[in-house]
C-alpha cells in the first residue's frame, strides 16, 4: 500500500487512493455538519484556498441554505480575482493520428472509420490566418499521440509557423499546448519554442479505472501520465494546466484527486496549476456518452465549478464549446475565467468547413456560435471579453505570476489589457452591432481603472489603436 505524501514524486503517493477514500468518507460523514461547514466557509472567505478534504465537505454538503452561501462565495471570489473579464481562446487540432486506445475518445487507434488527418505547415498557415481573421490571439494546440506522425519536431515546427504568421493586423500571441505526456527533454524544447501553458488532462485520477479506460498504448501507464506535470516543471514549464474528463469516474473522487494534484505542485514547485479545465464527456464518432456510468448533470456541474473556484481561487478555470450556451451562461459567474469561441474540434475546419463525410472531430460542439456572437453575448451579460496574452510575454509566469495573482495585483494588468485588446478586436473583426456595444462598454469600464495614471496611459493607447497601432500591454 502507498502512503499519502503530497511532496512525493510518485503518482500513487501524491494522488493517494486511500487518502481519497478517507476524504470521501469524511465528506459523507460531515455533509450535514453545519458547524464544520460554516467553519470551512469562513476559512474560504480568506481567499487562500482550501484543502482537498475541506473542499470535499463543501462539495458533499446537502444543506440548501449552505449551498447558496457556497455559490455566493464562489461568485464573490470570481469577482475579486477576475473581475468581469473572460479571456478568449480557440483550439487548433493539428493531427488526430493516435496510437492510444482511450475508450472515450474517437481518435483511439482502433477507430477505423474516422477520417485521419494531419495538417501540413501550409494548411496550418491557412487555418491560422482564418483564426486571426476571426480575431483570435490565443490558441490551444491539440494532437493525438503518435511518435511517427506527430513527433515533437512536428509540434515545434508548427508552433514556429504559427508565431510567424502576421496577416493584416492579426497575430497569435500565445500558443498553449495540449499534447501527450512526454520527457523532460521534450518539455524543455516546448519551453524554448515559447509556449504559454502546457495542458494535460488527467482524464481520471482513479488508477484502476484509468488503466481500464486506457487499455493500450503509452498512455496506459498511469504513473507516467500523472507525473507529467512534474517533468514539465523540471523542463522549465512553470505554467501547467490540469483537468479531468468528468463522467468517467465518480465526480467526487475526481474532485479530490484534482485538488491533491494542485497541492502536490504547490508543495514541490511552490506554484499550483495555472489553469483547471472542466470538460464533460460528450458524444463523438464511435463514442456514446451514455455508455459511461458517471455522467453529471448541470446542477452538479455548477457545484463543481463553484467548489473549484473556492478551493483554488488563484487558478484560471476553462470551459470549452463542449458545453452549450445555456450551461456556459450558468457557470461563467461561478468561476470560469477563460472560454473558447467559434471553435472547430476537427483537424482543420477553420479555413474551410470540413465535408460531412470526412468527420475528424474529437467531440461534438454544443455551442456553435461564431466568435463575434460569443463576444457580443458576453458583453450583453456584463462581461469584458479579453484577448490579452500579456503575462508570459512579460515574463510573468510560474511563481512570479502566482504571487501577483494571490495578492490581487494582477488585476492592475488584466483590466486595462482586456480593454485594449477588446478595442483591437472591435476595430479589426467585430460586426457593427458588436462594435457599438463594445465601444460603450470600454468607455464605462475605463472608469473602473482605479489608478489615474494607468487610466491616462490606457486612454492614450486606445487612441493609438484607433490610429492603427497594435499590441499595447501592461
Ligand atoms: S484522448 Fe488523446 S491520447 Fe487518447 S485517443 Fe484521444 S487523442 Fe489519443
Ligand atoms: S494580464 Fe496576464 S493574467 Fe491578466 S488576462 Fe492578461 S495574460 Fe491573463
Nearest CA-CA partner of 169 in 459, 472, 458, 432: 472
What domain range is 35 assigned to? 11-78
C-alpha cell at 32: 450535514
Count of beta carbons in the 10 Å neighbourhood of residue 215: 14
> 97-128 as b/e, with b when 16 or more CB fall inside 10 Å?
bbbbbbbbbbbbbebeebebbbbeeeebbbbb
Residue 397 belongs to a domain: no
Residue 3 belongs to a domain: no
Count of beta carbons in the 10 Å neighbourhood of residue 268: 16
Based on the fold, state whether residues 344 and 240 are members of the same structural domain. Answer: yes
Based on the fold, state whether residues 276 and 348 are members of the same structural domain. Answer: yes
Domain count, the chain: 3
Based on the fold, state whether residues 52 and 108 are members of the same structural domain. Answer: no
Based on the fold, state whether residues 277 and 371 are members of the same structural domain. Answer: yes
CATH at 214: 3.20.20.70
Q: Name all residues whose Cβ lies below 6 A of ligand 2.
A: 87, 386, 388-391, 410, 413-414, 417
Which of 386, 414, 454, 471 should be mutated for ligand 2, with most atoms under 8 A from CB?
414
Between 1 and 153, the higher pLDDT residue: 153
User: What average pLDDT does the segment 170-197 reach?
Assistant: 98
Residue 376 belongs to a domain: yes
User: What average pLDDT does the segment 207-218 reach?
Assistant: 98
Based on the fold, state whether residues 416 and 352 are members of the same structural domain. Answer: no
Contact yes or no for 20/260 (Cβ under 8 A) = yes
Count of beta carbons in the 10 Å neighbourhood of residue 338: 22
From CA 424, how far away is CA 110, in angstroms rounded? 45
Which ligand is closest in space to the CA of residue 214?
A: 1
Residue 403 belongs to a domain: no
User: What average pLDDT does the segment 382-398 reach?
Assistant: 96
Based on the fold, state whether residues 59 and 92 are members of the same structural domain. Answer: no
Which ligand is closest in space to the CA of residue 285?
A: 1
Contact yes or no for 262/314 (Cβ under 8 A) = no
From residue 261, alpha-carbon distances to 32, 139, 219, 329, 364 in Å are 27, 25, 18, 28, 29
Nearest CA-CA partner of 20 in 260, 226, 202, 208: 260
Q: 214-254, pLDDT tens digit by residue?
A: 999 999 999 999 999 999 999 999 999 999 999 999 999 99
Residue 123 belongs to a domain: yes
pLDDT score at 193: 98
- Quote the ligand 1 centre to 100 CA distance (angstroms): 6
Based on the fold, state whether residues 200 and 219 are members of the same structural domain. Answer: yes
User: What average pLDDT does the segment 261-269 reach?
Assistant: 98
pLDDT score at 286: 86
Based on the fold, state whether residues 234 and 319 are members of the same structural domain. Answer: yes
* End-of-domain residue from the set 78, 109, 135: 78
Which of 91, 96, 104, 108 should be mutated for ligand 1, with most atoms under 8 A from CB?
108
Based on the fold, state whether residues 115 and 62 are members of the same structural domain. Answer: no
pTM of structure: 0.97
From CA 71, how far away is CA 378, in angstroms rounded? 20
The protein residue with its alpha carbon nearest to ligand 1, atom 4, reads 102
Based on the fold, state whether residues 419 and 372 are members of the same structural domain. Answer: no
Residue 474 belongs to a domain: no
Q: Name all residues whose Cβ lies below 6 A of ligand 1.
A: 98, 100, 102, 105, 107-108, 144-145, 180, 219
What's the CA angle centered on 191, arms 415 and 260, to 5 degrees?
Answer: 75
pLDDT score at 356: 81
Based on the fold, state whether residues 244 and 310 are members of the same structural domain. Answer: yes
* End-of-domain residue from the set 78, 108, 133: 78
What's the CA angle centered on 178, arms 175 and 182, to 5 degrees?
Answer: 115
Based on the fold, state whether residues 373 and 232 are members of the same structural domain. Answer: yes
Is 408's pLDDT higher than 90? no
What is the percent of the chain where pLDDT is above 90?
94
* End-of-domain residue from the set 78, 97, 115: 78
pLDDT score at 283: 87
Is 358's pLDDT higher than 90? no
- Quote the ligand 1 centre to 96 CA distance (angstroms): 8
Q: 94-131, pLDDT tens digit by residue?
A: 999 999 999 999 999 999 989 999 999 999 999 999 99
Residue 5 belongs to a domain: no
The protein residue with its alpha carbon nearest to ligand 1, atom 5, reads 108
Residue 48 belongs to a domain: yes
Amino acid at each position: 500500500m502507498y502512503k499519502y505524501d503530497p511532496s512525493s514524486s510518485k503518482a500513487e503517493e501524491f494522488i493517494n487512493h486511500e487518502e481519497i477514500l478517507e476524504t470521501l468518507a469524511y465528506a459523507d460523514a460531515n455533509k450535514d455538519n453545519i458547524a464544520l461547514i460554516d467553519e470551512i466557509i469562513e476559512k474560504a472567505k480568506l481567499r487562500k484556498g482550501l484543502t482537498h478534504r475541506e473542499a470535499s465537505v463543501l462539495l458533499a454538503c446537502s444543506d440548501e441554505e449552505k449551498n447558496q452561501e457556497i455559490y455566493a462565495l464562489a461568485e464573490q471570489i470570481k469577482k475579486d480575482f477576475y473581475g468581469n473579464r473572460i479571456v478568449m481562446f480557440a483550439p487548433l487540432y493539428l493531427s488526430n493520428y493516435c496510437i492510444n486506445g482511450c475508450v472515450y475518445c474517437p481518435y483511439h487507434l482502433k477507430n477505423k472509420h474516422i477520417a485521419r488527418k494531419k495538417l501540413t505547415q501550409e494548411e496550418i498557415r491557412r487555418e491560422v490566418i482564418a483564426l486571426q481573421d476571426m480575431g483570435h490571439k490565443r490558441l490551444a494546440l491539440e494532437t493525438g499521440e503518435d511518435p511517427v506522425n506527430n513527433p515533437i519536431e512536428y509540434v515545434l515546427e508548427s508552433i514556429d509557423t504559427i508565431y510567424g504568421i502576421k496577416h493584416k493586423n492579426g497575430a497569435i500571441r500565445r500558443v498553449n499546448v495540449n499534447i501527450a505526456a512526454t520527457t523532460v527533454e521534450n518539455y524543455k524544447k516546448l519551453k524554448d519554442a515559447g509556449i504559454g501553458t502546457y495542458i494535460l488532462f488527467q482524464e481520471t485520477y482513479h488508477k484502476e479505472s484509468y488503466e481500464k479506460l486506457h487499455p493500450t498504448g503509452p498512455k496506459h501507464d498511469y504513473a507516467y501520465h500523472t507525473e507529467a506535470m512534474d517533468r514539465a516543471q523540471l523542463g522549465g514549464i512553470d505554467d501547467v494546466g490540469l483537468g479531468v474528463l468528468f463522467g468517467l469516474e465518480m465526480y467526487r473522487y475526481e474532485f479530490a484527486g484534482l485538488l491533491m494534484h494542485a497541492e502536490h505542485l504547490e508543495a514541490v514547485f511552490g506554484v499550483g496549476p495555472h489553469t483547471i479545465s472542466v470538460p464533460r464527456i460528450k458524444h463523438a464518432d464511435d463514442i456514446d456518452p451514455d455508455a459511461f456510468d458517471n455522467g453529471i448533470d448541470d446542477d452538479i456541474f455548477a457545484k463543481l465549478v463553484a467548489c473549484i473556484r473556492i478551493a483554488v481561487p488563484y487558478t484560471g478555470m476553462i470551459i470549452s464549446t463542449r458545453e452549450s450556451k445555456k450551461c456556459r451562461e450558468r457557470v461563467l459567474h461561478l468561476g470560469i475565467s477563460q472560454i473558447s469561441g467559434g471553435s472547430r474540434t476537427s483537424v482543420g475546419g477553420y479555413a474551410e468547413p470540413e465535408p460531412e463525410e470526412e468527420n475528424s472531430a474529437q467531440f461534438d460542439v454544443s455551442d456553435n456560435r461564431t466568435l463575434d456572437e460569443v463576444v457580443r453575448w458576453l458583453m450583453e451579460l456584463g462581461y469584458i471579453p479579453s484577448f490579452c496574452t500579456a503575462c508570459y510575454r512579460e515574463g510573468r509566469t510560474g511563481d512570479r505570476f502566482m504571487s501577483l495573482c494571490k495578492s490581487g495585483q494582477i488585476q492592475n494588468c488584466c483590466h486595462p489589457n482586456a480593454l485594449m485588446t477588446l478595442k483591437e478586436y472591435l476595430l479589426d473583426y467585430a460586426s457593427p452591432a458588436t462594435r457599438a456595444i463594445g465601444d460603450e462598454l470600454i468607455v464605462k469600464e475605463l472608469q473602473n481603472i482605479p489608478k489615474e495614471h494607468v487610466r491616462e496611459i490606457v486612454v492614450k493607447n486606445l487612441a493609438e489603436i484607433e490610429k492603427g497601432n497594435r499590441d499595447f500591454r501592461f
